[in-house]
Amino acid sequence: MAHPVRIRFHGVRAIHPAPFKGNQTTGGNTSCIEIIDGNSMIFVNAGYGIATVGDRLLATLKERQQSPEITILLSDFLWDSTMGLPSFSPIHDSKTSVKILTGIPINSAIAGLNDVTSNIFSPFNGFQSLAAQKEIVHVNPGFQTGRWSVMAKVNQNALTADGATIWRLKHEDGANIGVVLLCERDERTIAETSNFLEGCDTLICAATSHPDQNVKDPNRLGFSDALTIALATKTKSLILSQFHPAMNDLAIQAELLSLQQSLQRFKQSGLGQNLTIRLATELENISVPDVDLVKIAI
């Protein structure tokens, strides 16, 4: 029997961590998603969320006498996507193999990783000084890791000269996941992104709306943009993440409610009939095997 693919969110915030009391339900760590198929260890992004899972992961694998092989896909090299990496225990373990997948050229990737691990800002001495066996892979356009086929598409983004990578992951057993964590909200970029992800069953999408509705960041998707992409790709399950740090639990719930009402209106006109929407939430205190947050149809 195939192992069900599961998704676990360790960090759901964009831009800046938000470890505040009003964010207990949703979470306050910056971007990190774990994709679990029972074989590979895959993370998307290495914001502060990845640091929370490192010790437990390393201990579990050592108990099982397994040498960890970890794959990290990065949407971009902005701080909210990489700053947890120096605090991710496996990266300091010489028996661990860490493969970093990026859609951008390797030299730019190394520069980004050196920044967060620079001895000016951290107790470390650049990316190469970290003890794990490390490999950076420029995915252009595809790469096979374990039972996953990974595809990358790079979009321009004014926040980063390197561009932002949109990921599509297809599992041998059929799971088909799109991940859009940083994307400009102009019509052309949204259309191109939707084309790339068309037909994915599950879409993890940024919803970085600011609590002040008058503040529109052209470089980050909002809740309604996520719904636009989900409808265009004909996905079945839309999972919203990358919340703005100023959005507390109540504000996020209110946005979800509003988005679900919009979806109902679309459904009345025949669009998005099979689509469901949910929020990503951090579930730090439940061990990985017990979590079945999202079971993807196999």
Partner 1 sequence: MNNKPVSILKFHGARGSRPVHSITTQAYGGNTTCLEIDAGHDFFLVIDSGTGLSHLEKSIQRSPNRKKIHFLITHTHWDHIASLPFLPQFSDPEFEISIHAPDVGDMPFSQLFNLLVKHSRLPILWTAPRCKLNFFRIRPGETFLIESKIKVSTFQVNHQHITLAYKIGLADSSVAIVTDTALLNHQNILGQGMASKASKIGMDNFVREYEENLINFLRGVDSVVFDTHFNEQNLRIDWGHSTPQLALHYCAKAGVKKLFMFHHAPEDDDHAVALKQDLTRHHQVALQHQIEVINAREEDEWLIQSA
Chain residues binding partner 1 by CB under 8 A are 14-21, 23-24, 27-29, 48, 51-52, 55, 77-80, 82-84, 87, 112, 115-116, 119-123, 158-162, 219, 245, 282, 284-285
Residue with Cβ nearer partner 1 (134 or 210): 210
Q: Provide, rounded to whole angstroms, the least separation between the CB of residue 195 and partner 1.
A: 26
Q: Provide, rounded to whole angstroms, the least separation between the CB of residue 23 and partner 1.
A: 7
Q: Are 166 and 45 in contact (CB under 8 A)?
A: no
Q: Provide, rounded to whole angstroms, the least separation between the CB of residue 228 and partner 1.
A: 23
Residue with Cβ nearer partner 1 (86 or 272): 86
C-alpha span between 121 and 18 (Å, rounded): 20
Helix (H) or strand (E) holding 59: helix 48-63
Q: Provide, rounded to whole angstroms, the least separation between the CB of residue 157 and partner 1.
A: 11
Helices marked H in 64-121: 79-82, 106-116
In sequence order, which residues have a C-beta less than 8 Å from that of residue 161 and are 6 or more positions away? none
Q: Provide, rounded to whole angstroms, the least separation between the CB of residue 98 and partner 1.
A: 18
DSSP tag of 88: -
Residue with Cβ nearer partner 1 (55 or 198): 55
Strand pairing partners for 150?
A: 143, 169
Sign of CA dihedral 231, 278, 102, 81: positive
Q: Are 70 and 34 in contact (CB under 8 A)?
A: no
Q: Are 5 and 296 in contact (CB under 8 A)?
A: yes
Residue with Cβ nearer partner 1 (161 or 191): 161
Residue with Cβ nearer partner 1 (79 or 266): 79
